[in-house]
Amino acid sequence: MNKKLLAAAALLFLQVSLTGCWDQRLLKNGRLVYSSSFDSTENGNILTTAIIRDFQGEFPTNVEIQGEGRTIRETRMKMDRKVSGNFEPSKNRVFLLGEDLARKDIYQFLDVFYRDPASSISSKIAIADGFGGDILSKLSQKNILISEYLLEQINSSEDSTEVDEHNLQTICTIMFDEGKDFILPLIGLENEEVVMKGNAIFHKHSMVGKLTVPQSTLYLILANKKSKRARFVTKIDSSNNLPLDDYVAYTITNPESKMKIISDSPQNIKVEIRLTAGISIGEFPADQLAEEKTLKKINKKIENDLTKKSEQLIETIQAANADLFGIGRELIAFHPKTWEKVKWEEDYPEITIIPKIETEIVGKGIID
């Protein structure tokens, strides 16, 4: 009997000691932030714009608050003084960085999120084509749920192979990879509407250039990152009476891209990116595509157009000194002797990257 009492006393002691130090953060006491933007000010400070979810009766609404400071933590402290309850950013779903800030070292600004265990590092991160706060303010005027709007816009673009699938966590390791760079969604205002404008190109920690939406889709296809769909439009003629007849719209199906280093000489590095893909035509008003000769002609036009656009894309990427295809990573892994002899920051823009595009029309619609 004494043994049972002793065991019960020991168990009670363990329960008390294990639960004696407990830190809890009650959501009912917090003002939850669902999206934020960060911009550089003229005096070198950071301006944070946060969207807090509130309710008018049964309906959710947006409440915008701002804070300016020398660090993100300081802006949070100032915004905390402006709200009832606790300023709670742990539920943030979308981070928007202004272009001026993104062209600096973004890791300096993201450091607070990587250090804070309460941060949501699975949140999406995007770049504003201009001032991030302007985009959140424009959306707040439309009386929509801003965070859901931005998140759905990014997710839709991911499904359309227009932006890469990144979040706060996935870009962290790439920022410190000397042989690989990345892109982030670029969101801006166009005719007073918030639209996806393409992607911001990043080299290490800083934004160094931009890609349009068609360029972004082509890059992702060449990098073997096709999502649910990838659509293109190619001009194949200029002599038709109706301008609409000059174009063919199509979807890329089953693409396979392979990157191969065909010359690893430190003085003459050559890389080939070979893409094979099916073409499913979705719109071609000029013809019914019944003749094999017509199909071959259109296929050749598409091949030539994609090749030319790939060359222009590669030129843009190299001019930004961004190794988006991870060629440096390939050299590190499989050509270490070459990697030891090159100065990648200086040599990468001068290497030769050759795109090879092969397509085949595999679908032409339900009507012959």
CATH code of residue 355:
3.30.300.210
Same domain, 83 and 207: yes
Buried b (16+ CB within 10 A) or exposed e, 87-114: bbbebbbbbbbbbbbbbeebeebbeebe
Same domain, 207 and 248: no
Angstrom distance (rounded) from CA 127 to CA 86: 27
Same domain, 257 and 346: yes
Domain membership of residue 48 (yes or no) is yes
* pLDDT tens track, the chain, 368 positions: 565 566 666 666 555 555 544 455 544 445 677 788 999 999 989 999 988 877 666 676 778 889 999 988 899 888 888 877 677 777 788 999 999 999 999 998 888 888 877 778 889 999 999 999 999 888 876 667 788 889 999 999 999 999 999 999 999 999 999 999 999 999 999 988 999 999 999 999 999 999 999 999 999 999 999 999 999 999 988 777 677 788 899 999 999 999 999 999 999 999 999 999 999 999 888 776 778 888 899 999 999 999 999 999 999 999 999 999 999 999 999 999 999 999 999 999 999 999 999 999 999 876 55
Q: How far is CA 171 from CA 110, 131, 203, in A?
A: 11, 22, 11
Last residue of a domain, which of 211, 233, 253?
211
Number of domains in the chain: 2
Same domain, 187 and 274: no
Burial of 328 (0-12, 13-18, 19+ CB in 10 A): buried
pLDDT at 27: 47
Angstrom distance (rounded) from CA 127 to CA 348: 25
Domain membership of residue 22 (yes or no) is no
Domain membership of residue 306 (yes or no) is yes
Residue 96: alpha-carbon gap to chain centroid: 11
Same domain, 245 and 284: yes
Same domain, 197 and 297: no
Length of the chain: 368
- For 260, the token pair is 């191969």
Domain membership of residue 347 (yes or no) is yes
Same domain, 241 and 328: yes
Same domain, 168 and 265: no
Same domain, 367 and 240: yes
Provide the residue range defining the domain that includes 57: 27-211
Residue 64 has a CB neighbour count (10 Å cut-off) of: 14
Domain membership of residue 333 (yes or no) is yes
